Amino acid sequence: MQTSTAWRRIARVFLPFAAGYYLSYLFRTINALIAGHLSSDTGLGTADLGLLTSVYFLVFAAAQIPVGILLDRFGPRRVQSALLLIAAAGAELFAVSTGLASLFLARAMIGLGVAAALTAGLKSIILWFPKERVALLNGYMIMLGSLGAVTATAPAEYLLALMGWRQLFEILAAATGATAMLIYVLVPERIVLSTTSNPATLSSVFGDRRFWRIAPLSATCVGSSWSLLGLWASPWLMDVEGLDRASLVAHLFMMSIVLSGGAWVFGTTVHCIRRRGIGAEPVLAIVALLFIIAQLALILRVPLPSVLPWSAVAIVGTATVVSFAVIADYYPPELAGRANGALNVLHFGWAFLAQYATGLILEQWSTNNGHRSVMAYQVAFGLSVALQIAALAWFALPWRRSVASWLSAISFMAANVSNVVESVGAYENSVVLMPAEGDVEW
């Protein structure tokens, strides 16, 4: 009975929301592939292209607080299905748009429509699965969702050759509408009443010093990764690395594969170190440090295969697994939507600023045969790295209290990676997801 219940939960709760997040990631990263087509078909400049792509992040960020409140009040089923219909309408409008204004509106609608894609999935996991499985399932959720970034590379390139970007967006519009209906019909309702004497309000999140310790670091790293993978990786690889179209698509495909695998790595790592009594905060600091090192390797033109630092940049896009695991430890389930939404405001707000600002900075340098200079990219990327270093210093300020946990986490990640893989495989074959106390019957 327990095994049957667990698989029903996966089929009726986990997979439908994973499909919604998959579409969100696909919409987020598809412009990196179609940027050249958009520029040639509509005459968009570099700054316009940066603004068009980044408006997704701006609207997404602006919607996070109200979306979080709606998720806590009405549940993920109704909120996610309604918003995905807006995304479907936006994708259809994008497919038929010919000017910047209509493209801008369509992209904004898509951003609003998928604004709950991740937080609704995380909320559903918290509602329907035991707490000790949350980090692991968050990793699987983001891993499956980030396959949208994989789809936005070689598979989408193949479809573009067959039908063009407008027809591709028409297919995305139909798929998004179908997913909205799937979630509404298949996912059951479940509302959790407050279990604490304190009211579930945003002030509980924004007034918490723990939140403001983690938020700047998570936002500057995750948001920058999204900005780069979603748009600016492609121009760098063509202008600086000199890649042709086929090599560019191959690089983006490899980066997206690493991105998807990163969610699984982060989820299993957090799950395993928690079983050893170690929190997720040290993992976030380690990931941020590696991210900074990878960007510096690009900026300083360290003689490495470019796919290596770019893969490190990509994998940080799934470090939300770590950030939201920390948030899940901080706040009760009835506040999960607001807390995740508050953090996502900063994730996507920074992604918007980084993506748009990069375009503005790059335009300060003239092009040579359609390519911008290495110095332009070094300045644009370097400013972002400087802010990440400052955020890491702020996060690590009370280091005396946590140095033992940090060293233990570093030791685990460095010495026991193979053990993690083996233990996770054995764990998945032997563990049955147990229903949380008080669950409704299926």
Band of residue 440 on the pLDDT scale cut at 50, 70, 90: very low
* d(C-alpha 110, C-alpha 108), whole Å: 5
CB 67 within 8 A of CB 116: yes
* Candidate from 100-114, 175-189, 198-212 with smallest mean pLDDT: 198-212
pLDDT tens figures, 334-384: 777 788 888 888 998 898 888 888 988 998 888 777 778 899 999 999 999
Q: Give the pLDDT confidence score for residue 180 in this predicted structure.
A: 96
Share of the chain above pLDDT 90, in %: 28
Contacts of 441 (CB under 8 A, 6+ apart): none
Q: Give the pLDDT confidence score for residue 300 in this predicted structure.
A: 94
Structural domains of the chain in order of their starting residue, each with its CATH number: 10-188+208-430 (1.20.1250.20)
* d(C-alpha 213, C-alpha 204), whole Å: 15
Does position 438 have pLDDT exceeding 50, yes or no? Answer: no
Does position 284 have pLDDT exceeding 70, yes or no? Answer: yes
Band of residue 252 on the pLDDT scale cut at 50, 70, 90: confident
pLDDT tens figures, 413-425: 544 444 433 443 4
Q: Give the pLDDT confidence score for residue 429 in this predicted structure.
A: 42
Band of residue 408 on the pLDDT scale cut at 50, 70, 90: low
Does position 15 have pLDDT exceeding 70, yes or no? Answer: yes
Q: Stretch 27-37: mean pLDDT, rounded?
A: 81
Q: Give the pLDDT confidence score for residue 2 in this predicted structure.
A: 62
Q: Give the pLDDT confidence score for residue 36 in this predicted structure.
A: 76
* Candidate from 53-57, 222-226, 425-429 with smallest mean pLDDT: 425-429
Q: Give the pLDDT confidence score for residue 425 in this predicted structure.
A: 40
* Candidate from 86-90, 162-166, 228-232 with smallest mean pLDDT: 228-232
Q: Give the pLDDT confidence score for residue 423 in this predicted structure.
A: 43
Q: Stretch 41-55: mean pLDDT, rounded?
A: 77
Does position 216 have pLDDT exceeding 90, yes or no? Answer: yes
Q: Give the pLDDT confidence score for residue 192 in this predicted structure.
A: 55
Q: Give the pLDDT confidence score for residue 48 in this predicted structure.
A: 79
Band of residue 62 on the pLDDT scale cut at 50, 70, 90: confident
Does position 434 have pLDDT exceeding 50, yes or no? Answer: no
Does position 328 have pLDDT exceeding 90, yes or no? Answer: no
Does position 35 have pLDDT exceeding 70, yes or no? Answer: yes
Q: Give the pLDDT confidence score for residue 416 in this predicted structure.
A: 47
Band of residue 292 on the pLDDT scale cut at 50, 70, 90: very high
Q: Give the pLDDT confidence score for residue 49 in this predicted structure.
A: 78
Band of residue 410 on the pLDDT scale cut at 50, 70, 90: low
Mean of the per-residue pLDDT values of the chain: 81
